[in-house]
Structure 1
Amino acid sequence: METEERANQLMNLLQNYAQFGFMAVSLGYYETLMSCSGSSTSSELNNEEKELAGISSGLVRMSVGYIGTLEQKWNQFDKAISRLEDSVPFNKN
């Protein structure tokens, strides 16, 4: 998502607008969970270690749960991404 701010915006939309899942540090649960790894589970790493591990400040990790169908999850995800794109454009390399 390029930045931690955009990652948090996306997770907020996924949780509160699209009912996609929940923000959490641990990704072990039957519901869909997501976290911004750079500022949560990998916060103990310094910038060089994060770079070597491929963890950017805007990285969002997800564990898709088994509640709902794949089509439902995709539609919820697409709804949140579309809302985010409408609010703040970002680089789609």
Structure 2
Amino acid sequence: MRDLHGGPLMFLGPTMNPKLAFEISGRIPHLSMRMKKHCKRAMKYVTKMKELDPNLDVLYPGLKEHPQHSLLNSMSNKDYGFGGVFCIDMKTEGRACRLMDTLQNSTKFGFMGVSLGYYETLMTCSSRSTNSMMDSKEKESAGISPGLVRFSVGYVGTFEQKWSQFTKAYSEM
């Protein structure tokens, strides 16, 4: 593996594309600031969502009622919180898709996507996208309901602006 000229690394590419490496190196210095904002916003969203609709199933390890809250709290870096990804369960795939469509196309809250890594808020209906190849028993065993929507919180725009966009879309449901 160490032979750069004749071993497997020659074919696998031991170095990163220089342009990509340069772009990444420019983002590394402020990654911690972005991650802190990402995590704090997620916690703010889930707290407000529980206030907005106490019957809404919100899944986030930062909520005390989450079954793994204590474990993650004991392991996490307190400056970063509990991550920037959370889920809400809209119960049915149809309701999940309607909410995401409204959030993307009517209120401009975020974008539908399969990958959840971006500076804008992204969302996906897991049973229909990333986990669509699982059968219903596998999904149930993994806790993936037909209406589960995963959100990766972006850091673009003010929280108040984004919250207003979310509540408008949710009220239309």
State the partner residue of 1:62. Answer: 151
Instruction: Pick the aligned partner of 2:111 from 22, 25, 36.
Output: 22
State the partner residue of 2:91. Answer: 2
Matched letter for residue 32 of structure 1 = T
State the partner residue of 1:48. Answer: 137
User: Cα offset for 1:46?
Assistant: 1.5
Distance 1:72 1:45 in 2: 36
RMSD: 0.9
Between 45-54 and 13-22, report the one with greater CA deviation.
Answer: 45-54
User: Which one has more relative contact order, counting CA pairs under 8 Å at least 6 apart?
Assistant: 1
State the partner residue of 1:72. Answer: 161
Matched letter for residue 30 of structure 1 = Y
Instruction: Pick the aligned partner of 2:128 from 39, 46, 51.
Output: 39
SS of the counterpart of 1:82? helix
Q: Which runs of 5+ in 1 are unaligned?
A: 85-93
Distance 2:129 2:121 in 1: 17
User: Cα offset for 1:10?
Assistant: 0.3
**How big is each residue's C-alpha offset from its partner over 1:20-50, in whole Å with a ceiling of 9 and x where there is no partner?**
0011111111111111100100112121111
Distance 2:165 2:151 in 1: 14
Structure of larger gyration radius: 2
Distance 1:9 1:54 in 2: 21
Identity %: 65
User: Cα offset for 1:56?
Assistant: 0.5
Moved over 2 A (4+): none
